[in-house]
Amino acid sequence: MNRTASGMFVCLALLAPSRGGPDEATAQRLARGIDARREHYADVARRIWGFAELGYQEAQSSALLQSELKAAGFEVTSGVAGIPTAFVASSGTGRPVIALIGEFDALPGLSQDAVPERKPLAEGGPGHGCGHHLLGTASAAAAIAARDWLAAERRPGTVRYYGTPAEEGGSGKVYMLRAGLFRDVDAAIAWHPSDRNEVNAGTTLANIGAKFRFRGQAAHASASPHEGRSALDGVEAMDAMVNMLREHVPADTRLHYVITRGGEAPNIVPDFAEVYYMARHADIRVLDAVWERVRKAAEGAALGTGTSVEHEVISAVFNMLPNEPLARLALANLQWVGGVRYSPEDQAFAERLRGTLAAAAPVGEQEQVLPLQTAAGTASTDLGDVSWSVPTVELETATWVPGTPAHSWQAVACGGTGIGSKGMIVAAKAMALTAADLFAGPGHLAAARADFDRRRAGVTYHPRLGDRPPALDYRK
């Protein structure tokens, strides 16, 4: 079922084309099961929205999702991969093993009330500008629905929910992969909040991020500057060289940085300074070569300024490996579920929010499901590493007003309203139906695996994080 703007239920079969996989009655039953708990799931998501916990600090958010899954009969193992907030929840027995991916970390500096004008709840505080409170909750709802269906059908198979922390720059999934937690998974289903409904069979940007720490010699900046060696000079020299490098790397490379420590006072030659870099490209092999040049720039800057430098890789993720069979399957289910329909209250909120957007799109686009997308994205995600290890699909649903950018206060505001929770329920249904398809039709898994093997041919996956422990303090 799907709820219309008037609050009436309408049979989903009337709103979207028929689908393959489990029969229509089974699909309706799965959707109705999620609808029956939509208010509960909205409450769970809103509570996580209120917690707004940063990467590796999501203690309350992780605990809440674990309690939901335990109550539904899942066996939960917490604190996996050396990460206190990471967990795995499993139900069922045998193969196939279908993974549903959940996230729950917020972003710094995006605190915002659920209102259509800028109004921080805590000035400078964190907020869910990427909708991960909805992401983790919808994936849990889908996992529970798929588990209930599997039990009712008495089919073999395992539903597994992965609670993955610190997606925003912390690479939580990579550490979980490295710990072998995905080793027996046959396929992974994920989603992400958005301002539209779509499935993308394109790639994303691989990303390497590190903090470069320069050390010099403190001195009085006026009385004895000749005795000092400025760590800040090292940072600024590195920045100058990397900015010149931009002309001599592939045009679709992304290089960005912030100076996180620049010294304590202008009359003291800084003996310590730090700059945080990220580099991105759609091909991890190209990015590896670019990153080596960034690292050499740091070494040259230290040599030229009489300082020393060391760097700590904080995050490193692969670009997404597309899987077209899974993408087409997920899209068919998303089309069957249909887009997001606003209530009059949602409509009024959306119209007011549009006035704050630089590139507002027409309200109403959230009702559409776009055709299969294949363009490369401009974001990065640690789901990319999962996709190089397991056949993976990711869908998007309209949890934000059309035209709303991610990582904005407007996205935080939408995520705290019915607009966000309605899109979340659409995602939960599409994911649950896709999981049921994979359990019911082994041909889907065979096709997904063949596509995966073809695309990955000649490339051996190994994490770019090496053997370092999780950077649990990267947001502190």
Q: Are residues 7 and 28 in the same domain?
A: yes
**Which CATH number covers residue 271?**
3.30.70.360
The sheet with strand 206-215 has its strands ordered as 254-261, 272-281, 206-215, 308-317
Q: Are residues 187 and 334 in the same domain?
A: yes
Q: Are residues 63 and 181 in the same domain?
A: yes
Give the residue among 338, 361, 356, 384 at the shortest CA–CA distance from 9: 338
pLDDT score for 21: 56
Q: Are residues 307 and 363 in the same domain?
A: no
pLDDT score for 22: 62
The C-alpha atoms of residue 164 and residue 116 are separated, in whole angstroms, by 30
As a dihedral over the C-alpha atoms of residue 372, residue 373, residue 379, residue 384, rounded to 10 degrees, the angle is 60
Name the phi and psi angles at 439, rounded to 5.
-70, -40
**Which CATH number covers residue 61?**
3.40.630.10
pLDDT score for 20: 52
Q: Are residues 172 and 220 in the same domain?
A: no
Q: Are residues 165 and 230 in the same domain?
A: no
pLDDT band at 460 (very low <50, low <70, confident <90, very high): confident
The answer to whether residue 7 scores a pLDDT higher than 50 is: no
Measured between alpha carbons, how far is residue 236 from residues 117, 192, 214, 265, 290 in Å?
37, 37, 10, 16, 19
Pairwise pLDDT comparison (378 vs 438), residue with the higher score? 438
User: Among the three residues 315, 344, 370, which one is the final residue of a domain in this structure?
Assistant: 315
For 434, counting Cβ atoms within 10 Å of its Cβ (0-12 exposed, 13-18 middle, 19+ buried), the class is buried
Q: Are residues 359 and 395 in the same domain?
A: yes
pLDDT digits (tens, 9 = 90+) for 199-214: 999 999 999 999 999 9
Whether 189 maps to a domain, the answer reads yes
Whether 344 maps to a domain, the answer reads yes
Span 120-143, average pLDDT: 98
pLDDT digits (tens, 9 = 90+) for 427-448: 999 999 999 999 998 999 999 9
pLDDT digits (tens, 9 = 90+) for 341-361: 999 999 999 999 999 998 878
The total of structural domains in the chain comes to 2
Span 103-125, average pLDDT: 98
Span 92-106, average pLDDT: 97
pLDDT score for 266: 97
Q: Are residues 159 and 189 in the same domain?
A: yes
Whether 357 maps to a domain, the answer reads yes
User: Among the three residues 262, 288, 315, which one is the final residue of a domain in this structure?
Assistant: 315
Name the phi and psi angles at 121, rounded to 5.
-75, -35
Q: Are residues 353 and 341 in the same domain?
A: yes
Whether 474 maps to a domain, the answer reads no
Whether 476 maps to a domain, the answer reads no
pLDDT band at 12 (very low <50, low <70, confident <90, very high): very low
Whether 366 maps to a domain, the answer reads yes
Residue 96: is the preceding peptide bond cis (ω within 30°)?
yes
User: Among the three residues 315, 342, 371, which one is the final residue of a domain in this structure?
Assistant: 315
Beta pairing, strands 254-261 & 272-281: antiparallel
Q: Are residues 399 and 333 in the same domain?
A: yes
The C-alpha atoms of residue 202 and residue 474 are separated, in whole angstroms, by 30
Range of the domain at 120: 2-203+319-456
Q: Are residues 37 and 163 in the same domain?
A: yes
pLDDT digits (tens, 9 = 90+) for 153-184: 999 999 999 999 999 989 999 999 999 999 99
pLDDT band at 134 (very low <50, low <70, confident <90, very high): very high
**What beta strand segments (E) does 282-373 contain?**
308-317
Whether 444 maps to a domain, the answer reads yes
Q: Are residues 348 and 417 in the same domain?
A: yes
